[in-house]
Structure 1
Amino acid sequence: MPRRSRPTAALAAAAAIASVLVAPPVAAEPVPEPAPDYCREQCHHVLPPGQNGNATFAELVAHMLLGTRPPHSDDQLAEYDALVGGYSKLTTGTIAEFFNDNSFGVRPDDVERTYRPREDVTIVRDRTAGIPHIYGTTRSGTTFGAGYATAEDKLFLMDAMRRAGRGEVTPFAGGAPANRELEQRFFAASPYTEQELQQQIDSVASRGERGRQALADAQSYVDGINAYIEQSHRGRYFPGEYVATGHVDPITNAGRIEPFELTDLVVLASLVGAQFGGGGGNEVQNAVARMALHERFGPERGEEVWKAFRAENDPEAISTIHDGRSFPYGVAPETPEGVVLPDPGSVVEQQLVFDPTGSAAQPAEPSARPESSNPPPTTDDPVESLRGIFDDGLFPAGMGEPRGMSNALVVSGAHTESGHPVAVFGPQTGYFSPQLLTLQELQGPGISSKGASFAGLSFYTLLGRGQDYAWSATTASQDMIDTYAVELCEPGGGPATVDSNGYLFRGECLPMQLVERENAWKPNLGDDTPEGSYRLVSFRTNYGPVTHRATVGGKPVAFALARSTFLHEVDSIIGFQKFNDPGAITSAADFQRAAHDINFTFNWFYADADDTAYFNSGANVVRKPVVDPSMPIAADPAYEWQGWNPADNTADLAPFEQHPNSINQDYYTSWNNKQAPGTAGDRAEKNAVQRGDLLDARVRERIEAGGKFDRATLTQVMAEAGVTDLRAERVLPDLLRLIDRAPITDPETAKLVDRLRSWLADGGRRVEAEPGSRRYEHAEAIELLDAWWPLLVRGQFEPSLGAPAYQALTGMMQINESPSGWQNGDPDLHVGQGHQGSAFQYGWFGQVSKDIRAVLGEEVPGGFGEPLCGGGDPAACRQVLLDTLRRAAETPSEQTYPGDADCEPGDQWCADALVHSKIGGIAQEKISWQNRPTYQQVVEFPARRPR
């Protein structure tokens, strides 16, 4: 896209439009007294880029022309970024340089504005970050204020996300490929009818007094959202993205911002659950990989290799619970029954898109690398310029892929300087502008909290603090999704084929339920001719949506996902309600019981002045003892969940005591690692080398040496782990040990090894040589490892596994997750995580380590038996390492870091850098990579309420 000078006509037009806009009403109101706060200025938090995610049309045009941003839209970004270079010198006295004060209330000199959107609620905005502090004289006023304030900050984001959750992005924002990709992804996960969404609302009211209160809270919240929509539209200070998407005319104000309904909250809850709170569902990919290994090695040896790759209950994996207890869940039995393996080569994905027309029927063409993610306007018309910001789609490519990126460090008072527990924890929701989370303080009858919530679900604080306690979560991903193989049939009679839309259920041939979305998109408001359209169709069985079709022994089957939270996303509302209720949470045990009311798969962490706690939540189904949950299961009552009722998708769930739980363990760490011995993960990443090692080792070693923690030293552990390359710290030493078994005769190869050794000796970190230099210290070694890893993994495993099995295993789990998101520039192995911070969760890190240690002659628990690298010959394996290392050194930088819309090819720092993906018109500056939660708290309570 060619660059142009700033058009003066556009400036003039924008100024003219701005002159008809009015600011939101502001009234001088008294500031309410703060609620009781026992943290005494020892609670801090941060959420980049900033609290404000709304911008008027004039503000969007000014951003495009002048680079300005609305107030509080980026004022937490610099302090978040600064920790990368400043953590080593951090003290408790300098925490406020990197985190904001998370005390209750607003100091008089920090009040930005005070106003009352309704008589029973006062909202105070602070100057520091623009956070709304909401004080309700009634409970209804409190949640009304939460809805109003969230709409002030994130209305367009909330609107866009409810469309995504329904699978209706394209009618709202156009048919760009990224929009289509996202709506298809979320529609496939939660293909609900409007009636089913309403049923979930109705079910809340049937759950006693707390359920009725939750429904009333949600309704008041929606009322607050809609009050802001009506006022902002009438006053013309609504988000400018509604102009960009053609929904409102900036001159006439014609158009409509659709009000929210309670069912929209169900959609948003479903979206959050699909993105962060589920586990399982990979059984078909697992089956394909397992069969490929059996075909390569035979059943006995193939099963041994499969179990090592699967790492279902790896004895070397670190666990959050390490007190000697075991919590068995999701582990395959020794002799499973009901396993269904598809015929080789017969598996196809279920078709989702039908009847494409116009632009939907046109395949996406590879586009040249854009000059900028925020290009300047190319026309003198500011409206047309603004509409161009969504040409590539409303949402970034890759959004909607399941993520599990949060971490937590909690140390008991027995190992802290003060004698009180210390916690550094938070969720990693990705980097977006605006951020998916929103900050708030809620004070009203039965509610006293401050922290973060997903925009659109913020009638309660989901992660944050109460008066004398704080809590957070990490994604757990234990297996609560199973795949059932249903035999296909023709309801009207006749032979079935893989295209048949009937299935056998308990002896009867039933038609699949079809849930459809008719999506057509137009370029702008008022246009009559659609640019394109298609029909999305979900084929549903009583078990759940169909994901694949295949044959088994020649018979056609469909594979359907049974998810324990399907039709039950709203059930978690009771647990979150309790988190916000000071009367409900008076102890660590109270918190655990509240967490048990949450059916999404999360690891919950708690700290107050005396105690720490951990609980793993989730709707953990009770399976028949003969079932292997990692494989497709025969659709037969003998293998269905115990107590399963297909009418409402209810089943027997594991009781509280069977969930991994603990109070006052010496310390807890979590980075989406294994919850407890005996608990199987949904994928193969929870094995001998997992990024949680970077946290666990640092905390454990300090405690074992008799050291104590304070808020600064625990934050330093998190920050150092967040800039460390897991492959360098945990795998490279084993690789070097094998290389060092013989002298290196080639001088150039020796230099490569020395380069890696020097980086490892310096900590294996990915940090700038000088702050702001945008060049890594040890840049050559880092690039060498980035280029080497995919070559190493292929060279180590493919010759022994064979190409079909190797490819099948990469389909089960990617071999790498580098910070840049690329794997040696191979688009077939691109994982779509570039610029989003999270790294080293998924990858063959443990598998590489186990195999190399076996080659070295070590006993390796949970290993492959006979090593695979070099056919088990140490000399041959060592040669593989050296050969692939030399090939890596010859790889051009432009291939290792191929460039994208934000970076030039070969720019290493930029390839790793965090980029806030726009879901709107405001772009943000790039910041240095760090593997860290997006929202993060640093907490130490010195006191607690009288009991």
Structure 2
Amino acid sequence: MRRALAAVATAALLAPLLGSAPAFAAGAGSGGQTRAEDPCRGQCRDILPAGENGHATLAAILLHKAIGTRPKHSADQLEPYDKLLHEYSGLSDEKLADYFNDASFGVPEDQVEKVTSPRDDVTITRDKATGTPHIKGTTRAGTEFGAGYAAGQDRLWLIDVLRHVGRGKLSSFAGGAEGNRELEQSLWAVAPYTEADLERQVERIRGSGERGARAYEDIKSYVGGINAYIDDTVHALNYPGEYVLTGHGSKIEEFTVTDVVAIASVIGAIFGNGGGGEVGNALAKLAFQKQYGQAAGEKAYSAWRAQNDSEATTTVRDKEFPYAQSPEAPRGVATPEDGSVTAYDHAQNEEGTGQEAKTGNAKAGADTEGTAKTDSKREKEGVLPADLISGKRGMSNALVVSGKHTASGHPVAVYGPQTGYYAPQIMMVQELDGPGLRARGASFPGLSFYVELGRGLDYSWSATSASQDITDTFAVELCEKSGAKPTTESKSYLLHGECTPFDRLSQHNEWKPTLADGTKAGSYDVVSLRSAYGLVSHTGKVDGKPVAFTALRSTYHHDADSVIGFQKFNDPSAVTSARSFQKAARDVGYTFNWFYADADHTAYYNSGDNPVRSKNTDPDQPIRAGTAYEWKDWDPEANTSAVTPPAEHPQSLDQDYSVSWNNKQAKGFSAGWGNGSVHRGDLLDTRVAKLVKEGSVTRAKLVGAMEEAASADLRAEKVLPELLDVIGSSEVTDPELARTVGQLREWEKSGAQRREAAKDDGVYAHAEAIRVLDAWWPLLVEGEFKPRLGDELYTSLSSLAPVNESPSGGQNSGGGGDDGAGGVGASQPHKGSALQHGWWSFVDKDLRTVQGEDVRSPLDRPYCGGGSLAECRTMLLRTLGEAAATPAEKTYPGDKECDAGDQVCADSIVHRAMGGITVPRIAWQNRPTYQQVVEFPARR
């Protein structure tokens, strides 16, 4: 443990904390980082709201709360990001500088804000525009040390938060808020590790050849830089004020290499995971069979599941890549008995008895005042969103156009990760310049020893979350070592015929009252049960026998292995072409769609450790545990198996254009629920296809296509025309309804945008039509499908495929409230990303079927009005009338940010405060948080 200063009274701290950071020996000018000839020639730009600086002393936090001041560069990228929404029409390449930062290498002498040299072989140059660190090392170790030091300067508190999440110790560190406990429990459900587990991952990297050994040394140097910054900032009384507010004072634990693996497990669980959920699928199939009978139920399930919808927009358009499809005659399916399934509770007391996971009751006998649960909103909120890992979400988009269709003849790309809005941001930007390292871009705090998304010497790359199925659910038969009759409470299971105890992985958390959230003192254990077949998610019965359902992820125990791929992305000798980039991406085990552009070529590659499954097992359903059904060449000790070869991964070179908004990768590649005829990716595909057809695509035109899609309402653009067609099959005689229909039709024809006529108007153009659709959607979906599905099946389906993910998050399938059936993913106001998860395809296909149109990959039967167009129309008009009569105050419930009924405010983006500094709200726009705009006119 790093030595801590003696406790100091807050009043005594204020004066020194107002001072600047400790001075270091600075090199002349930019520390040697003069701008050399850059192959991008000023045509690479990027942005990361709210700002690069995530550091605030206690004094700065108190001043911010008292008078609203903010540390420099903590919010200076917010305004240009926000104003693009209202100014993209008629945008030119020359005007891009108003909305994106210069992403050229180096810093011109007249743009140097500050140069520090934490040791002799590295300088960190901060530019005036954004405060971005440009790290130049004369040695590789020095470069990585500087990266760690800069990460400490910009994100120390957040890095500390993330390592505690990764170790299941967030509530002990940041307070016992309900959100903190829910988050650590959700991480413990998918990536619990002991210290020995983390060390084994480190040793695996270290022993994986020359690049692995290099990565290990890079991480060591990086961690050394973070720790050096901790030493310097503590001694200068310049450490983050959040440590004081959470009761830590200046006591900051030294970072270790295993902390990096713990952080990698968090980021991988959020952005690079995929699959699982087979227990829910099985229960949905049972509900279909109960409603329609065995054969018809199976047919209906397959139609709704739509693993390979032929109407879905795909990133690869001209080739099929089969993966993870359900076989016609599956083997080893472990169907749970109806009513037998119980989710495993990861929150327990010391005695191991169940404890309410969502309240985190204090353990029996603890010296606390009752429980940690109160009605305080602040106590419920944690330092990070409670559903950061567990929530259904789609992230990131990409628009890439081949040079064959651009004005310059060089490829153009606009892309970035849609990682959410936080203050400070959950990513940070830097430039690395040292032996074997040449890159600028974004990285996650604590993992920024390499740039993860950005540009290299003469190329750029980005990614979207792919989420393909790399997690299977196995049903392991429970047993008792004593030979007694097992129950669903048994703590042992059969492994190749031997009764084997589960590994019990636990972390004990205790917290005291804190200034930060006002929580009472409390404690509890976060617990996971681990088998060779993965982590226990549920218990139940199969064929009368008690079982545990376990989730086996191919990247479990291998969260850090992807470091090799990222190392190559940063190495100019490793990435010299589109094909070499694809080869580097093969070393990333996480599920991502990777996009690449240089001066001549574009590339796409879908990464992930896709397991080779036993023939005719069904990855969509639970599988019986046993040698006959295991992954090919599976080693349970190391959790390794055969994986699908690179040629079977979706990929392309120099495709006319590529788009991705977490849509289906390719024909034959199994997709998630609801990925069909209408998808958020269609908003990009339609616009980019039009640009390509017109030709002479420019960076500005592609930015315009992105931004127009970012302000479009998918439901209004793609589904509302079908709704209006059904309604328009006869005259609307009710004057008020006719007026409402007219407003909806006018909005749809105008472009279906959710945008103010002018910035800060406070009122949307077509505000009434938008209000009506927001209120109507959950009502019409329920009216269309629930009568034939029945209550139980409707509820089961809407828990797997959320009905609605509106921009405001204020409407769910019940028409209001916070949760309710089908509201999964809907009750998250102010988050920005929207319209990924919803029943858009189901409504679209059903309405076209009812109207007698030819529908490929249809649902199993017509639902709206029982298949009667007249009855369907009647239902739509009835629910439309209800929606029109719904007060805006109910559609847009008030919160701490907005008055009830304020439509624009309800949609607006609020950067979630993960520290002591907040930033202003911005208008809703559905776009990446870190975003690049690139066009390389030259090669190295």
> TM over 0.5: same fold?
yes
Q: Distance in 2 between matches of 1:739 and 1:392?
A: 44
Structure 2 residue matching 1:514: 3-state secondary structure: strand
Measure the CA separation in 2 of the matches of 1:687 and 1:231: 54
Secondary structure at 2:689's aligned position in 1? helix
Q: Does 1:401 find its partner at 2:390?
A: yes
1:548-599 superposed Cα distances (whole Å, 9 cap, x missing partner) = 1111232211100000000001110110000000011110000000001000
- The Cα offsets for residues 324-375 of structure 1, whole Å up to 9 and x where unpaired, read as x10000111111111111111211110211124267963745457x8xxxxx
Q: Provide the identity percentage.
A: 53
Match of 1:351 in 2: 345
After TM superposition, the structure 1 = structure 2 runs for residues 783-862 of structure 1, keeping only pairs within 5 Å, are: 783-823=771-811, 824-827=815-818, 828=820, 829=823, 831=825, 832-862=827-857
Q: Which amino acid aligns with 2:312?
A: A
Query: How far apart, in 2, do the equivalents of 1:904 and 1:360 lie?
Result: 35
Kindly provide the CA deviation profile for residues 901-920 of structure 1, in whole angstroms up to 9, marking residues without a partner as x: 32222111111111000110
Encode CA deviations 1:21-80: one digit per residue, 9 max, x unaligned: 563214431221345520000000000000000101111111011100000000000000
User: What CA distance in whole angstroms lies between the structure 2 residues aligned with 1:840 and 1:498?
Assistant: 39
How far, CA to CA, are the matches of 1:322 and 1:539 in structure 2?
42
Per the alignment, residue 664 of structure 1 pairs with 654
Q: 8 Å contact 1:605–1:612 — kept in the other structure? A: yes
CA–CA distance in 2 between the matches of 1:524 and 1:436?
23
Equivalence for 2:421: 431
Show the counterpart of 2:696. 708
CA distance in 1, matches of 2:846, 2:341: 30
Which letter maps to 1:362?
A: T
1:554 aligns with 2:520: no
Could you tell me how far apart the structure 2 residues matched to 1:94 and 1:604 are?
28
**Equivalent pair of 2:83/2:759 in contact (CA under 8 Å):** no
Measured after TM superposition, the shift of residue 897 of structure 1 is 1.1
Q: Distance in 1 between matches of 2:18 and 2:796?
A: 60
| Aligned AA (1:104) | F
Give runs of aligned pairs for residues 535-934 of structure 1, distance below 5 A. 535-681=525-671, 683-704=672-693, 706-823=694-811, 824-827=815-818, 828=820, 829=823, 831=825, 832-934=827-929
Residue 350 of structure 2 corresponds to residue 362 of structure 1: no
Moved more, 501-510 or 127-136: 501-510
Deviation at 1:825, TM superposition (A): 2.0
Rate the CA distance shift 1:40–1:233 in 2: closer, same or farther, 3 A: same
The answer for the alignment partner of 1:381 in structure 2 is none
The 1-side partners of 2:369 and 2:877 are apart by 48
| Cross-structure match for 1:384 | none
TM-score (norm 1): 0.93
Paired position in structure 2 for 1:377: none
Q: Which amino acid aligns with 1:776?
A: Y
**Distance (Å, rounded) in 1 between the aligned partners of 2:824 and 2:673:** 18
For structure 2, list consecutive stretches of 5 or more residues without a partner in the other structure. Answer: 1-8, 350-360
Does the CA-based 8 Å contact 2:508-2:524 persist in structure 1? yes
Greater shift, 830-839 or 105-114, is seen at: 830-839
1:306 paired to 2:301: yes
2:321 alignment partner AA: F
State yes or no: 1:232 paired with 2:233. Answer: yes
- 1:392 positional shift: 4.3
Range with greater deviation from structure 2 (110-119 or 34-43): 34-43
Q: Distance in 2 between matches of 1:14 and 1:317?
A: 62
Structure 2 counterpart SS, 1:449: strand
Alignment CA distance shift 1:804-1:576 (3 Å): same
Matches of 2:514 and 2:89, distance apart in 1: 52
Amino acid at match of 2:657: Y
C-alpha deviation, 1:628, in angstroms: 1.1
Mark the CA change 1:365 to 1:887 in structure 2 (over 3 Å): closer, same or farther: farther
Pairwise CA distance, 1:394: 2.1
Verify the 8 A CA contact 1:822 1:830 in the aligned structure 2: no
What's the offset of the Cα at 1:936?
0.2
In structure 2, C-alpha distance between the alignment counterparts of 1:397 and 1:887, rounded to whole Å: 34
Q: Deviations over 1:153-195 (max 9, x none)?
A: 0000100111111111111111111111111111211110000
State the distance in 1 between where 2:381 and 2:346 align.
22
- Select 2:325's aligned residue among 323, 328, 331: 331
Displacement of 1:536 in angstroms is 1.3
* Aligned partners of 1:232 and 1:238 also within 8 Å: yes
CA displacement at 1:882 relative to structure 2: 0.8
- 1:414 counterpart SS class: helix
With over 3 angstroms needed to count, the CA separation of the structure-2 counterparts of 1:709 and 1:159, relative to structure 1, is same
CA distance in 1, matches of 2:493, 2:102: 58
Deviation (angstroms), 1:900:
2.1
Measure, in 2, the Cα distance between the counterparts of 1:853 and 1:330: 29
Distance of 2:238 and 2:545 partners within structure 1? 60
**1:835 Cα deviation after fit:** 1.2
Q: Distance in 1 between matches of 2:369 and 2:381?
A: 14
1:64 counterpart residue number: 65
Distance 2:723 2:166 in 1: 45
User: Counterpart of 1:457 in structure 2: which amino acid?
Assistant: L
SS in 2 for 1:545: strand
2:116–2:125 Cα contact (<8 Å) kept: yes
SS at match of 2:54: coil
Counterpart-to-counterpart distance in 2, 1:662 and 1:307: 29
Q: Tell me the CA shift for residue 654 of structure 1.
A: 0.6
Structure 2 counterpart of 1:296 = 291
| Structure 2 equivalent of residue 5 of structure 1 | none
Residue of structure 1 in register with 2:434 after alignment:
444
Deviation at 1:698, TM superposition (A): 1.0
Residues in 1 aligned to 2:757 and 2:390: alpha-carbon distance in whole angstroms? 33
Deviations 1:198-255 (A, max 9, x none): 000000011110000000000000000000001100111111111111111xxxxxx4
Distance of 1:212 and 1:36 partners within structure 2? 32
Q: Is the 8 A contact 2:47 2:100 kept in 1?
A: yes
DSSP-derived class of the 1:159 partner: helix
Structure 1: distance between partners of 2:14 and 2:450: 40
Which blocks of at least 5 consecutive residues in structure 1 are unaligned? 1-10, 249-254, 371-389
CA distance in 2, matches of 1:605, 1:22: 41
Contact 2:172 2:509 (8 Å CA) reproduced: yes
Count of aligned residue pairs for this structure pair? 903
Q: Deviations over 1:702-725 (max 9, x none)?
A: 323x42210000000000000000
Moved more, 586-595 or 283-292: 283-292
- Partners of 1:409 and 1:287 lie apart in 2 by 36
Tell me, in whole angstroms, the C-alpha distance in 1 between the residues paired with 2:566 and 2:873: 53
Classify 1:663/1:391 alpha carbon distance in 2 versus 1 (closer, same or farther; 3 Å).
closer
CA distance in 1, matches of 2:773, 2:18: 57
